Amino acid sequence: MSALLEITDLTVGYETAAGERVVLVDSVSLRLEEGEVLCLVGESGSGKSVTMLAALGLLPPALTIFDGSVKLRDELVGADDETLRRLRGAELGMVFQDPMTTLNPVRRVGTQIGRALAVHQHLDARTRKRRVVELLASVGIPQAAERARAYPHQWSGGMRQRAVIAMAMANDPAVLIADEPTTALDVTVQAQLMEVLAQARARSGAAMVLITHDLGLVAQYADRVAIMYAGRVVESGTVWQIFDDAAHPYTRGLQAGLLGQAGAGRAYAIPGSPPSPAKRTTGCGFAPRCEFAGKSGDCDTTVPPLVAALDGRALACPPALAVPLREDISA
């Protein structure tokens, strides 16, 4: 079966004044099936946002797609602006970290959601107004009819993000892209907002790419998970395969952080930091931080290919493929 959204070998970056290519996202392939939640996970700077912005045709002007394909029914790489705009409103809903990147500060919230509706649906003014109020109520805005007349700055951060979710859902999109949707919010409202988003998605049956560094959210909401490191996908699988049986040393390092394996009260952090995109070398980007580097293969000289297994997992780590690391660690 063909996927709803299929990203194949997407490579994104920029060229320096000296004509050298700096690659930020390197041969990334992702599949999103009808109705599922795919979590994209990795440290800050690993290329999660750039991957999805490239897929949506929303890259900042400095960045270019060097290679690859993005299919949402039709091919999106190289599609004209008009096609991309139409798809973004009708088939794709987007929720970014900061609601003010989506909301216009000088327009009433209700007007903005109404406009999102008007661009893609032909509704008379009364029906449109009713839909706006319904949408705001569906994301838990009390007295929605009255509140719709307010400006974004009159709303709290959590309310604004609810409005963005309402706007993303306005045209009943097939795919939702949520990039760290709760990270900028007060911790006390993060869980609530995530639940609002999850419920909106579940009601509509949309598939979702959820970008997050929060493994708790992954455990709660993901069907499948793709782990990114230094611009590449290093491991992917179902949420159970990733949580119960992760093989990539980086994935296991992230999990050690979640489980607090450093001991009571101390958060574990993988020693070292990711290589900056301009300094990425030929080998595995994780090798300098990896306690298994060199166990087999040539981690320092060859970029490990992402190898797909029969059970649907994929792994870019020859030593982990060759050695049952889990037994090594527990021995």
Residue ranges that bind ligand ADP, judged by CB under 6 A: 14, 24, 42, 44-50, 60, 62-63, 277
Contact 291, 239 (CB under 8 A): no
Contact 253, 286 (CB under 8 A): no
Closer residue to ligand ADP in complex, CB, 47/318: 47
Segment contacting Mg ion by CB under 5 A, of 49-57, 77-85, 86-94, 241-249: 49-57
Q: Give me the least distance between CB of 49 and ligand ADP, in Å please.
A: 3
Q: Give me the least distance between CB of 44 and ligand ADP, in Å please.
A: 4
CA angle 276, 187, 169 (to 5 degrees): 85
Q: Give me the least distance between CB of 19 and ligand ADP, in Å please.
A: 16
Closest by alpha carbon to 225, among 208, 201, 206, 200? Answer: 208
CA distance 302 to 67: 21
127 binds, among Mg ion, ligand ADP, none (CB under 5 to 8 A by kind): none
Closer residue to ligand ADP in complex, CB, 41/132: 41
249 binds, among ligand ADP, Mg ion, none (CB under 5 to 8 A by kind): none
Contact 226, 232 (CB under 8 A): no
Residues 6+ apart with CB under 8 A from 35: 205, 206, 207
Residues 6+ apart with CB under 8 A from 62: 14
Closer residue to Mg ion in complex, CB, 120/213: 213
Closer residue to ligand ADP in complex, CB, 68/318: 68
Classify residue 266 by its DSSP letter: -
Residue 35, token pair as written in the block: 């109705």
Classify residue 309 by its DSSP letter: P
Task: Please report whether residue 49 would count as binding Mg ion according to CB under 5 A.
Answer: yes
Q: Give me the least distance between CB of 277 and ligand ADP, in Å please.
A: 5
Closest by alpha carbon to 128, among 151, 150, 112? Answer: 112
Q: Give me the least distance between CB of 41 and ligand ADP, in Å please.
A: 9
Q: Which helix (H) or strand (E) holds 29?
A: strand 21-32
Q: Which residue is nearest to ligand ADP (CB)?
A: 49
**Separation of first and last alpha carbons in the chain:** 42
Closer residue to ligand ADP in complex, CB, 127/276: 276
Q: Give me the least distance between CB of 161 and ligand ADP, in Å please.
A: 18
Q: Give me the least distance between CB of 30 and ligand ADP, in Å please.
A: 14
Position 244: which residue type?
D
Closer residue to ligand ADP in complex, CB, 147/232: 232
237 binds, among ligand ADP, Mg ion, none (CB under 5 to 8 A by kind): none
Residues 248-287 that bind Mg ion (CB under 5 A): none
Binding residues for Mg ion (CB under 5 A): 49
